[in-house]
Amino acid sequence: MRSYLGGEEVEHLDVEKMIRRLAIESGRSEEEVRRLFEKTLEEYKETLNEEGVLFLVARELGLSPAYETPTGEAILKLTMLIPGLKNVTTAGKVVRVIPATTFTRKNGSTGRRAELLIADETARRRVVLWGRAADLASEGIISVGDVIKIRGARVRRGLDGTPEIHVDHSSIVEPLSEDELKADLASLKDIRPDENFYPLSDLEEGMVDVDTQAVILSIFPPREFTRPDGRTGRVGWAIVGDAGETVRAVFWDSSTRFLEGLSPGDVVKLLGVKVKQAIDGGKELHLGSRSSIVVIGREEGVAAAQISRDYKIADLTPGLIGVNLTCRLIHAFSTRTFRRSDGSLSYVGDMIVEDDTGMIRVVVWGENAKKIQLVPPSSTIRIVNAYTREDSRGVYLQLGDSSSIELISEELSPIPQSILEKAIQLKYPMRMISQLAEGFYQIRGTIIKASDSVSIIHLCTNCGQKLTLEYGKLRCQICGLREDSDILLVLPIVIDDGTGRARVLLYREQVERLIGLSKSEILSKLEEYGLPPDAFPVELSGRQLLGREVVIRGLVKQDIESGEIIVRCDEIEEADVREECMKIISELSQL
């Protein structure tokens, strides 16, 4: 039961739960304890609240809910803390410290939060430190092994259902005095810090807040994603292993910072981990804001080959890690450059490969994406330490920074057109415009409308922001005056295939291909005609756009308000009408 007082949510004391606990610990029936509680409550109703009555009932049942101190102060044992208690005094030995993190409240202001795990001989409980109290964990004032007393705390229910001790500006956290440690609280000195590390093979789905020790075998950098509520999150992962097993460790949001300081071969303690089921039915370790990592050593010579094995394409299923594949390159799509959240440039590209069991799409990140552009089609390559994913088009491979591509042999023999078309449709299935959903597709149609000019956007080569022209000079709002720029060409067109229309946005090389001019030629013509540097009239290209038959491959989106189909073009080519007719005739002849 909850109520709201002064706008703050307050958890009431769960009397029934406390009665059940006292019954279990005393060996009495719940009904007997309840009668004793009601009798004591009636006797002391003018002087004690429910919490005080429960304290007296515990005493009468021969239980010791609190430590005896020289000053007579009641310090509750951790097992006696239940959600709803306020102004609590308790004590324990610090067995884990999770440093402070900064968060943003709903009103836009920022706050700080840190956590401790404390223990006594009865239980272990999480302590959440808010505001200035969080600095106790970050500045080394409190460390593992300290025996502390907490006064003026609140007890709330944690996400996992267990009681949590919440400490704010009105609470006091202090070390126990020597006199207190010599009395009933002396047992706290003998509590050992967390050293209960599970082997990976002993971890089971559903375990929470567990610790394990492993070697970092492979690291995949964090990426950003958008949650269903529109908020941005971050996720990254690593492959870890011990003598008995290898598993994936998934790092969420603030915990992704741990990946920045790790490298293959690091021996680490993974603290506060959740164990969940992986896509392939195995298990994964999940780390969040309450998790931490401690590097305790190195194991040299750890390589991807230690955790990967050879597969055939037909054997690939979602959720596999450490995939090695010897295959033939059928087609490499163009590589796209993008900026990471830290402002650095990176690359992503796709290729289609095959072996004697099938064909598969491969998404390649980082420097490997540039490498695939240098490999001739039909060459034999070896992919090492990839991992599998699944989307609406089926299972595909991904290569991260810990993956590699090896060229086994170059072949100059052409790929048959039928195989090439099949490969391209693995990434871009052919659809009529009326059949399109959101995703990657290939469409064919006639250009019925095109912008009169190509937009020329100057981007900062340092941060990627759009530049403005001030008194003939390019300026970035972040980096200041710029001598050069990254030029982005943009040209919108509309195509019709008889079943519907789609607006297509062409960028960079795709614009150059359609109008038949390179970027440098476009800039030269602007200078020649004395035109502004932000737009190029299409008529100066000498190309007629309307009526041309084209094939478009790209990412399809649908405007929520208008319902308009919008395609971000990745590739464009002229439709070969003669080839299409020959293909239809060939297919008809086989009927």
pLDDT for res 211:
87
β-partners of residue 550 are 445, 574
Dist CA 66 CA 104 (whole Å) = 37
445 and 402 fall within a common domain? no
- What total of structural domains would you count in the chain? 4
- Selection from 386, 400, 500, 394 nearest residue 440 by Cα: 394
Lowest mean pLDDT among 168-182, 341-355, 476-490, 512-526: 168-182
| Residue pLDDT, tens place only, 73-85 | 678 888 778 787 8
409 and 450 fall within a common domain? no
- Mean pLDDT over 514-536 rounds to 92
Beta strands (DSSP E) in 120-258 are 124-130, 147-157, 163-167, 172-175, 197-198, 210-226, 232-241, 246-252
449 against 72, higher pLDDT: 449
- Say if CB 96 and CB 209 are below 8 A apart: no
At 91, which CATH number?
2.40.50
Tokens in use for 25? 């610990």
75 and 10 fall within a common domain? yes
Dist CA 21 CA 580 (whole Å) = 78
pLDDT for res 304:
47
| Residue pLDDT, tens place only, 16-38 | 877 887 787 777 888 888 888 88
Dist CA 275 CA 198 (whole Å) = 12
| Residue pLDDT, tens place only, 228-255 | 778 888 898 888 887 667 788 999 988 9
202 and 145 fall within a common domain? no
| Residue pLDDT, tens place only, 370-389 | 999 999 999 999 998 888 88
For the chain, counts of helices (H) and of strands (E): 11, 35
412 and 500 fall within a common domain? no
Domain of residue 511 covers 433-581
376, 395, 420: which is the final residue of a domain? 420
pLDDT for res 451:
95
Query: Can you give the pTM of this predicted structure?
Result: 0.54
Percent of residues, the chain, with pLDDT higher than 90: 31
Dist CA 203 CA 211 (whole Å) = 9
305, 339, 359: which is the final residue of a domain? 305
Dist CA 577 CA 562 (whole Å) = 33
Residue 425 counted as domain residue:
no
- Selection from 408, 377, 383 nearest residue 320 by Cα: 383
- Mean pLDDT over 57-62 rounds to 73
> What are the backbone angles phi and psi of residue 287, rounded to the nearest 5°?
-115, 135
Q: How many residues does the chain have?
A: 591
Q: What confidence tier does 143 reach under pLDDT thresholds 50, 70, 90?
A: confident
What's the mean per-residue pLDDT of the chain?
83
Dist CA 279 CA 271 (whole Å) = 23
406 and 488 fall within a common domain? no
pLDDT for res 265:
83
Half-sphere exposure of 201 (CA within 13 A, CB side): 4
Residue 190 counted as domain residue:
no
- Mean pLDDT over 214-236 rounds to 83
433 against 158, higher pLDDT: 433
pLDDT for res 106:
80
Residue 162 counted as domain residue:
no
396 and 275 fall within a common domain? no
- Selection from 166, 188, 154 nearest residue 69 by Cα: 188
299 and 316 fall within a common domain? no
pLDDT for res 497:
95
pLDDT for res 591:
66
Q: What confidence tier does 5 reach under pLDDT thresholds 50, 70, 90?
A: very low
297 and 352 fall within a common domain? no
455 and 566 fall within a common domain? yes
Residue 427 counted as domain residue:
no
Dist CA 159 CA 147 (whole Å) = 26
Residue 160 counted as domain residue:
no
The conformational region for residue 140 under phi > 0 = left, psi -120 to 50 = alpha, else beta, is left
- Which distant-in-sequence residues (6+ apart) come within 8 Å of 553 by Cβ? 424, 427, 428, 440, 441, 442, 569, 570, 571, 572
Lowest mean pLDDT among 39-48, 81-90, 558-567: 39-48
- Mean pLDDT over 260-269 rounds to 86
Residue 43 counted as domain residue:
yes
At 410, which CATH number?
2.40.50.140
508 and 457 fall within a common domain? yes
pLDDT for res 426:
92
Q: Which residues of 391-405 are buried (b: 16+ CB within 10 A; e: fewer)?
A: eeeebbbbbbebbbb
In terms of average pLDDT, the best of 162-171, 268-277, 317-326, 444-453 is: 444-453
273, 305, 337: which is the final residue of a domain? 305
272 and 315 fall within a common domain? no
Lowest mean pLDDT among 195-204, 268-277, 372-381, 516-525: 195-204
